[in-house]
Structure 1
């Protein structure tokens, strides 16, 4: 009987232990398992997308400009000839890359002169990734502009609309499309930071009226278009100021007013010919004479008989066998714009066209005179 009692007590204790274990599991373990299951279910499902609504007006403008203008922008790759160490002939190697844009429906592509300066050939990649060998039409190194031509079907040619740069205002939005570091069809945005900057061309001549922007311009952007908020061309991106060689928020753009004056001449003649007064000058001689006299201006060495300067009565320098016999006229201003050296004279004349008349202020025998010269 005692054995039966012990067995019954043991069974009771086991039952009690089992009940306690079930309670512990129910209180402590089951909630954690349920929580983990629920967390796993939530983590395994995509979150609901929050409706965005319409784009902001400035975003609509930016995206529309890119969609409409990017097909006008091209990617340029250039090759140059180098001597082969294994053969007696030159071979072509990759030289660099840059950007450009379609000028008209005849396949003319505008870019920077320095992009093609060391190139023996160039290839143009269009918006649809089709590519064409390009022929060089001509260039103006003084303006860092060049024109290529490709034989692409008319339906692939989408000229960029032309704007104006003279009326630009500081703070105005600008949009640059190009191929920085070979990454084609890249858009950057910014504002006009300043106007009337001056940069140096590949020939050392000054390019005047340059637009300064803060849109990111990097290697490979050279030759690409700068656009206004109407999608019009307002300049050609050409240079940056940066200690590292990458964008530092200071970019420079050749103004479209200059581009629209130079490019048509390159297409027609293969080069740019500025309007002429019919004079001959020498920078070193002019600087030496004006410095000795203590005046500013450009000394006229010679005046062509059939030029506008001769018709206006201007006189050149008379030089004897060993010395100057008579100093010629010293040009000091064009239409009120002071002229102190040859570079300034050439930059000022480029604002005019053949047939225009300009007022010339000049120094003769220590007296200031005025004449009207018709440019040719």
Structure 2
């Protein structure tokens, strides 16, 4: 028989207590894990009434039955016109500035080593298919001096393009792709003379490289006259819109609710170089006039009168003792050897000080052109661009010394063309 002394008894009791403690903790832990599993299973039971919407693959036709009429209209316009809109990538060769020396604090100049004589700059813009022959309309400033032109379509096709010609005065240009006519979808051209304030205005283009983006707004104003930025001449009857136009939209179409082109998106007024809700498009009726000539001749020839004009302000009315209701375009300057100079039109030669600064007065005031009333200088520019050609004879009625007299003028081509 084994003898169990007091120490052995104490040791056995201690082992029994320790085992009980371990078993109890383990059993409690197992029970806690089972409870957690049960709770987790309850949470994972799917409630079909609140399950997330299944993502739609890109090639799935979206059911528009439950959308409102505005959404369906915009989607239909995009679906029908987007295949006509292109993304243009350009590469230009740029000259390195001539003075590339870095001065140091001791007066020595150290040239930049291994500096290339030319470098290449990349850019992008938008455009649209004009005809089945592959002509694409865009902005002159988008493709000017481009060494390489690449045109991408919405189906993923990318092809090379060549420059056909351009008109810096209207900021319009034409490039051409050699593609199967069956994959070219020309746009439908509208009539910008019918554009009205409040009309729906939609753009499709590539703002900041975000290809085939649609924005929508309204026509904010019509009849704006803006400098093209490429020449000293202005573009008449531009369309102003609050539809977002950003860098990369240039050259893309401004559309009406029928998907017809109202104009070519060209410029914005913004301190941030991004949309501020004040964008401008070249009216499509000027596109209709200019583009066929670019395709045929590489450029467009405008008529030239040879004057600078000013609207009639209250200061001019007071200084020239005019009727308060007098309207017209005051001739500020007549260029030498111009049609205006050859016809005897008089410019303003008297400068006077007014509260706002100095104004020039005394010239002829154009009140009509070919019997069409002139309210502002914009009216003269618009009429000459839209309704006349070089070598045409026009009749200006001018107010001179409180008397209205007719003056015949034979128009010349604009200089530099």
TM-score interval, normalised by the smaller of the two chains: 0.7 to 0.9
Whole-angstrom CA distance in 2 between matches of 1:349 and 1:183: 38
Aligned to 1:39: 43
Q: CA deviation at 1:100?
A: 0.5
Aligned to 2:92: 80
Q: CA deviation at 1:132?
A: 2.2
Whole-angstrom CA distance in 1 between matches of 2:198 and 2:182: 36
Q: CA deviation at 1:37?
A: 2.6
Aligned to 1:120: 147
Whole-angstrom CA distance in 2 between matches of 1:227 and 1:132: 25
CA contact (8 A) 2:269 2:278 kept: yes
**1:297 counterpart = 2:331:** yes
Closer/same/farther in 2, CA of residues 239 and 339 from structure 1, 3 Å limit: closer
**1:360 counterpart = 2:392:** no
Residue of structure 1 aligned with 2:228, choices 194, 201, 204: 201
Gaps of 5+ in 1: 1-27, 285-289, 318-327
Q: CA deviation at 1:201?
A: 0.8
Whole-angstrom CA distance in 2 between matches of 1:316 and 1:251: 36
> 1:237 is paired with a residue of what secondary structure?
strand
Q: CA deviation at 1:89?
A: 7.6
Instruction: Please list, as runs of the form range in 1=range in 2, the aligned pairs for 1:3-82 lying within 5 A after superposition.
Output: 36-42=40-46, 47=51, 53-82=65-94
Gaps of 5+ in 2: 1-31, 55-62, 97-111, 310-315, 323-329, 347-362, 413-417
Deviations 1:218-247 (A, max 9, x none): 110011001111010001111122222221
Aligned to 1:244: 272
Closer/same/farther in 2, CA of residues 221 and 48 from structure 1, 3 Å limit: closer
**1:211 counterpart = 2:211:** no
Q: CA deviation at 1:205?
A: 2.3
Whole-angstrom CA distance in 2 between matches of 1:175 and 1:52: 20
Closer/same/farther in 2, CA of residues 113 and 83 from structure 1, 3 Å limit: closer
**1:350 counterpart = 2:396:** no
Closer/same/farther in 2, CA of residues 253 and 43 from structure 1, 3 Å limit: same
Q: Let me know the Cα RMSD of the aligned residues.
A: 4.2
> 1:120 is paired with a residue of what secondary structure?
strand
**1:222 counterpart = 2:265:** no
Q: CA deviation at 1:116?
A: 2.0
Aligned to 2:373: 336
TM-score, scaled to structure 2: 0.66
Residue of structure 2 aligned with 1:253, choices 272, 281, 284: 281
CA contact (8 A) 1:315 1:329 kept: no
Instruction: Please list, as runs of the form range in 1=range in 2, the aligned pairs for 1:306-325 lying within 5 A after superposition.
Output: 314-315=343-344
Q: CA deviation at 1:42?
A: 2.6
Deviations 1:85-117 (A, max 9, x none): 888986562421100111111111111111123
> 1:61 is paired with a residue of what secondary structure?
helix
Whole-angstrom CA distance in 2 between matches of 1:300 and 1:221: 37
Q: CA deviation at 1:70?
A: 0.4
Whole-angstrom CA distance in 1 between matches of 2:132 and 2:180: 9
> 1:64 is paired with a residue of what secondary structure?
helix
Aligned residues: 327
Aligned to 2:57: none
Aligned to 2:350: none
Aligned to 2:217: 190
> 1:198 is paired with a residue of what secondary structure?
strand
Larger mean Cα displacement after TM superposition, 247-256 or 60-69: 247-256
TM-score, scaled to structure 1: 0.72
CA contact (8 A) 2:236 2:381 kept: no
> 1:109 is paired with a residue of what secondary structure?
strand
Closer/same/farther in 2, CA of residues 53 and 248 from structure 1, 3 Å limit: same
Q: CA deviation at 1:217?
A: 1.1
Q: CA deviation at 1:337?
A: 1.4
Aligned to 2:259: 231
Aligned to 1:25: none
